[in-house]
Amino acid sequence: MLNLNQLSLRSANSLNSKRSKEDHWTTLKYLSAGNLSTGSDECLNVALTQPDVVKGYLCPTSEFLQSSIVKFRNEVSNSLLSERKSNFLVIVGPEFLDSFHQAKACSQWLNKRSGNLMNYTTNNNSISTHSNFKDLHDKIKKLYTNKNHLKNLSLVMNVDLTSNYESGNSYMSRAVFNGVVDLRILLIELAEQIQLSGVIDDPICLQYYNDLLGIATLRSENIESQVHREFISGIPFPIGFNCFKSSIYGSISKEIQEYKIQKAIDAIHSVADPHYFLSVTNLGNVAIANSMGNKDTFLLINIQQDQVITLEHLKVLFDAPLNQLNNVKIILDLGKLNELNYDSIWNLLKDSLTSEIGDYIAGVQIDSGKQYIPQSWEYEEKIESSPNNNENQVEDETFAVLSENIGIKRSSIRGKIFNTFKNSYSKISSAFDNQPTRTTYGYEHMILADKFITQLNELMK
């Protein structure tokens, strides 16, 4: 393993060529996350680079990006404290970021719709300039080329890499599975396209990317956690408290709904005050932290049960927050849109915004699904970005394990067998990959989310 001085030298040299840059990121990945495949029952402990070193030295952000994030935070903060409706927030994105490639595509779609000036995407990396872009369905192509910007909305991309990932009999957050440095590299790319809303259930992981988030939310399971209330009181950006877990919302009673809303209100009161608590600094030292309190908070209420709730039901859910909080702001979690619930959700939102509770609705959150580009494009990008971009080396490394298992020692024989496998795979994969790109299958939630925010933009004029 390289020491820090060697790593910094490689970091400087990585700018000189694509090969050294890829070697650099590979080194960072192992330095930050280690090898999670121990092959034994022993407990694995991997030391990580301190957050300050990762954020300020290994993977820093530009001054322009940082200033734009701070500006956005201030705009949202002023909107939450204001009694009038402004900067209507629309949080869009997949529930979980299972694929880095899909996440990048989602950020480009939202960047195009927002008309964001923070566009760092080069022509080589743009979805619309991909060699197979012409093969996409017309509806999908329009999403990446639409020049009608949503000027009346403040678009934000939802990013959640702290949810559990199951690997065999083990559970880990996606941040641990992918590595905190790889996660930060991804989030920098996303933040250069669109403002980000993160899920902050993991207080330690948050230290590695808190400077990249414009706003954040906390899951309903943790709104009663004193640990989360303490560190949220020191976070310098707006935080939303999710009252209901959407997957079980339809099965809980009215009493539990009211109980969870009350606990979210208690959390808002708690985080607004200063706290003293034990914490870990960005340099990895245990210390007593003193927070100043965070008054930039809002509630996140899910509006889907077994079916979309009624306006009367929604008004009942608003009763406790309106009676106990000053200038309360609420974001409605609309969930996934489909052909069956689209009209019901749109009518509920439209009626809510024009009712007496409309002034307290600060925005909506929409799950736009997990597919934004064909899955075959992900495979192509992995091959193109493989170390050294050397096809022969990739083939040799790919075939190495197989050749050892079946006892093949001569490289010439290995090559012939590998080419046979490769040609067979190419014929099979092309038969499957060439068809889905011409359809809208898998993109339903993205298409309907785009339609919804377009209508919402007209409504907010």
Distance CA 311, CA 352 (A): 7
> Would you say how long the chain is, in residues?
461
Give 421-432 pLDDT, tens digit per residue: 455 545 444 444
Please state which of the ranges 162-176, 381-395, 445-459 shows the lowest mean pLDDT.
381-395
- Helix, strand and coil percent figures for the chain, each rounded to 5: 50, 15, 35
Domains of the chain: 4-47 (no CATH), 57-372+443-459 (3.20.20.70), 376-437 (no CATH)
Going 400 to 404 to 410 to 414, the CA torsion angle's sign is negative
More confident residue, 312 or 175: 312
Q: If you average pLDDT over residues 61-84, what whole number do you get?
A: 89
Q: If you average pLDDT over residues 446-450, what whole number do you get?
A: 96
Strand-strand pairing, 164-167 and 170-173: antiparallel
pLDDT band (50, 70, 90) for residue 390:
very low
In this predicted structure, what is the pLDDT of residue 180?
85
Distance CA 152, CA 156 (A): 13
**DSSP structure class, residue 57:** I
Distance CA 49, CA 52 (A): 8
Please state which of the ranges 15-19, 211-215, 373-377, 411-415 shows the lowest mean pLDDT.
15-19
More confident residue, 419 or 442: 442
Residue 198: CB atoms within 10 Å: 23
Letter for the amino acid at 419? N
Q: If you average pLDDT over residues 316-332, what whole number do you get?
A: 90
pLDDT band (50, 70, 90) for residue 262:
very high
In this predicted structure, what is the pLDDT of residue 15?
37
Distance CA 337, CA 366 (A): 8
Distance CA 265, CA 128 (A): 45
Q: State the chain's mean pLDDT as an integer.
A: 78
Give 47-59 pLDDT, tens digit per residue: 788 888 999 888 9
Q: Which of 298, 293, 232 is nearest to 81 (CA)?
A: 298
Q: What are the φ and ψ backbone dihedral angles of 281, each rounded to 5 degrees?
A: -75, 170
